[in-house]
Structures are given as structure tokens and as C-alpha cells.
């Protein structure tokens, strides 16, 4: 019994020493719970507020301006743009610049005086049911009245766009394209360089005329094809089984997916130059994947998060891709209308590929 206990303690001592040497694993022990506590306790907010809103005030009266001010005072919406018509508000919704449009018609004063119908309209991007629910709460809540407001309360008529039935698959499936690509593409390439080292092939690659940038590009090209196959699979099954629409161009879907795949592959290559084993590659991939899925707008509305969390989310490729893919598939946005969202993806790819190339050169030295 004593000898058996001694052998167990020897194995325990060996594992402790190995954990001390593996700084990445030891850091994950503290890093993962701290990150989850901060994300769920601070960044994730089910009470959606400060929704990006645009205003088209065709009445232009003091009463209509106070009406908009009271709506913003509710903290459900935050005015970020103005428009000249309802059609202009719809264009802003389609481009993803706003998620709520406040339309006040020319006859606003007459509607207020009659008090028999809503005096204004809320045009809501209903592709996210939580956003639509928040907008409906605004419409059903009496707006604070000031001295010139009528005795009978006026409210909004809600017009839900893109997913008026509030079906969850319509919201989830397009974003799931990005989530699946982020997880698989990053993981595939994260183990690429490490696998070559563990199999002893890295020394052979060093002696060949292949340059570092050429090696990096050669590593990611096969996975781009696999990424396109995954896009086809998710979009096809979503359309057949869940009736998820593709209102925009399918060619645009593939074009932006290729750009997104290259960005995630760049992140995977950078991870592969930072780790020593495939197990560490799995760990670091998970560590970068978790904040992306929580902060990107896939699970929780982006507008409901605090400003610092939104700024952090802007760094992640998934945040921008979800806006793009939902814009094309659900809102029917064209490539030109969402091209400004592609700039962060290009910058991210250039940065990660540059760092990966530099890191790999240092390893060769």
C-alpha cells in the first residue's frame, strides 16, 4: 500500500512539473474562468438598450422633436443618423447602419390631435428577435409627456423587416456560417506548422527553396476550398430544412466568405507559430474562439453590450462577417452596400499573416 501510494505521488509530482513547464496550459487554468466571468458578468446584457437608430422627421415641429427626444431618453434607442424619408431609413437598415428607424410623417400633429392611431412608426431590423422585442417594448411603453404633449398618449406602430415571424433559424443559420468557419478554419491551420514540426517535416521544408510567404500561402489555399464546401453545406441545409432565405446574391455570399476564410486562416497560422504542440494549438484556438462567439452578435445583440466590449468585438473577424452575411442573406444588401465591413477583415488578415511570417522566420533562425 505504501509503495503504491509512493508511485502515485511520483506520477503527481511529474504532472505538476510538466504543468509548470507548460506555461500556456497553466495560464489557461486562470485565463478561461476569468475571461468567462468578465464576459458574462460585464459584457453580456440581456436587457437590450441603446439600439442604433435613425430618424426621418418629416413633420419638423417642436412636438415631433420632443417626441424623438423622449424616445431616446428611454435608453432603448440611441439616435446615430437622420434621413429624409422612410425609403432612406430602409436603405440604412439594409446596409446595417441602424437597427431601428423612427419615421414621423408629415401629418404627425393631426395624428396627435386625433389620438386614435399611432403617431409614428418604428422600422425594425427583425432579423434579431431580441432587437425586435426591445423595440416592441418601446412601442408599448407610454413615452414621458411634457407640457405640450396631448392628454392621450401616443406611441409607435412597429414594422418588422426581414424576419417578422421571429423565427430563430432565420437569425442563427447565416451567423452559423461564420461560427463554423471560425472554429474549423482556425483550428485546421493552427496545427499546420506544429504538425510539420512534430512529424519532422519542418527541417525538410527549411532546406527547400520555398520562401516563408510561399509556405504560408500554400498552407491556407487547400483550406479555402474546404471553407467554401462548408458554406455550401450550411446555406443549402438552412434553405432546405429551415426555409432560411438568401435575398441577396449567392455569388456575394461566396465572395465575402472567401475573404472571411482568409482572415481566419491567418489567425490560425499565427497561433501555429506561437505554440509548441498540437494540444497547445487546440487550447489557444479555443481561447480565441470563446470571446468571438460571445461578443460578435451571434448569441447576444451587439447593441446591448457596453462600449468597451463593443470596441473589443470590433477586433474579431466574426463580428464583421455576421453583419455582412446577415446583410446579404436576410436584408438583400448588395456587395457595394456592405463593402465597408470588409476593410477590417482585410486589415486583420494582413496583420496576422505579417506576424505569422515574422514569427516563423524567427523560429528558422
CA distances from 279 to 20, 35, 194, 195, 205 (A): 16, 20, 10, 11, 22
Most confident of the following: 161-170, 268-277, 318-327: 318-327
How confident is the model over 286-310, as pLDDT tens digits? 888 988 988 888 887 887 788 888 8
Does residue 31 lie within any of the structural domains?
Answer: no
In whole angstroms, give the CA distance from residue 319 to residue 341.
10
Concatenated DSSP letters of 204-245: HHHHSS--HHHHHHHHHHHHHHHHHHHHHHHHHHHHHHH---
Same structural domain, 234 and 360: yes
Residue among 180, 190, 184 nearest 282 (CA): 190
Query: Residue 9: phi, psi to the nearest 5?
Result: -65, -35
**Domain C-terminal end among 136, 161, 186:** 161
% pLDDT > 90, the chain: 28
Does residue 352 lie within any of the structural domains?
Answer: yes
CA distances from 156 to 70, 101, 105 (A): 12, 11, 12
Same structural domain, 217 and 351: yes
Same structural domain, 182 and 319: yes
**Domain C-terminal end among 98, 132, 161:** 161
Total tally of structural domains belonging to the chain: 2
Asked whether the predicted pLDDT for residue 143 surpasses 60, the reply is no
Same structural domain, 334 and 296: yes
Provide the residue range defining the domain that includes 120: 51-161
Same structural domain, 303 and 330: yes
Model's pTM, two decimal places? 0.81
How far does the chain reach from its first CA to its final CA, in angstroms?
Answer: 51
Same structural domain, 215 and 328: yes
How confident is the model over 245-257, as pLDDT tens digits? 999 999 999 999 9
**Domain C-terminal end among 112, 145, 161:** 161
Same structural domain, 151 and 266: no
Same structural domain, 77 and 207: no
Least confident range from 164-168, 234-238, 270-274, 326-330: namely 164-168
In whole angstroms, give the CA distance from residue 105 to residue 353.
51
Does residue 29 lie within any of the structural domains?
Answer: no
Amino acid at each position: 500500500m505504501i509503495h503504491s501510494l509512493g508511485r502515485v505521488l511520483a506520477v503527481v509530482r511529474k504532472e505538476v512539473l510538466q504543468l509548470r513547464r507548460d506555461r500556456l496550459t497553466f495560464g489557461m487554468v486562470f485565463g478561461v474562468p476569468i475571461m468567462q466571468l468578465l464576459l458574462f458578468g460585464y459584457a453580456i446584457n440581456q436587457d437590450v438598450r441603446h439600439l442604433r437608430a435613425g430618424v426621418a422627421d418629416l413633420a419638423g415641429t417642436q412636438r415631433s422633436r420632443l417626441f424623438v427626444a423622449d424616445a431616446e431618453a428611454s435608453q432603448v434607442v440611441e439616435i446615430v443618423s437622420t434621413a429624409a424619408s422612410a425609403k432612406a431609413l430602409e436603405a440604412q437598415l439594409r446596409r446595417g447602419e441602424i437597427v431601428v428607424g423612427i419615421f414621423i410623417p408629415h401629418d404627425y400633429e393631426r395624428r396627435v390631435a386625433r389620438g386614435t392611431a399611432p403617431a409614428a412608426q418604428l422600422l425594425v431590423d427583425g432579423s434579431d428577435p431580441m432587437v425586435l422585442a426591445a423595440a416592441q417594448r418601446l412601442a408599448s411603453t407610454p413615452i414621458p409627456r411634457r407640457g405640450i404633449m396631448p392628454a392621450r398618449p401616443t406611441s409607435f406602430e412597429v414594422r418588422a423587416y426581414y424576419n417578422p415571424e421571429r423565427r430563430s433559424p432565420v437569425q442563427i443559420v447565416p451567423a452559423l456560417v461564420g461560427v463554423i468557419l471560425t472554429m474549423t478554419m482556425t483550428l485546421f491551420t493552427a496545427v499546420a506548422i506544429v504538425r510539420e514540426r512534430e512529424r519532422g517535416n519542418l527541417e525538410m521544408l527549411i532546406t527547400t527553396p520555398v520562401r516563408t510567404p510561399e509556405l504560408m500561402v500554400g498552407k491556407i489555399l487547400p483550406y479555402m476550398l474546404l471553407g467554401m464546401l462548408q458554406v455550401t453545406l450550411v446555406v443549402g441545409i438552412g434553405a432546405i430544412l429551415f426555409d432560411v432565405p438568401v435575398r441577396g446574391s449567392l455569388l456575394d455570399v461566396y465572395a465575402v466568405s472567401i475573404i472571411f476564410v482568409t482572415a481566419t486562416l491567418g489567425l490560425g497560422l499565427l497561433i501555429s507559430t506561437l505554440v509548441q504542440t498540437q494540444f497547445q494549438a487546440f487550447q489557444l484556438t479555443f481561447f480565441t474562439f470563446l470571446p468571438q462567439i460571445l461578443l460578435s452578435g451571434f448569441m447576444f445583440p451587439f447593441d446591448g453590450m457596453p462600449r468597451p466590449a463593443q470596441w473589443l468585438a470590433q477586433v474579431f473577424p466574426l463580428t464583421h462577417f455576421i453583419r455582412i452575411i446577415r446583410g446579404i442573406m436576410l436584408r438583400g444588401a448588395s456587395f457595394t452596400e456592405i463593402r465597408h465591413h470588409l476593410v477590417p477583415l482585410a486589415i486583420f488578415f494582413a496583420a496576422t499573416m505579417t506576424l505569422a511570417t515574422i514569427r516563423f522566420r524567427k523560429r528558422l533562425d
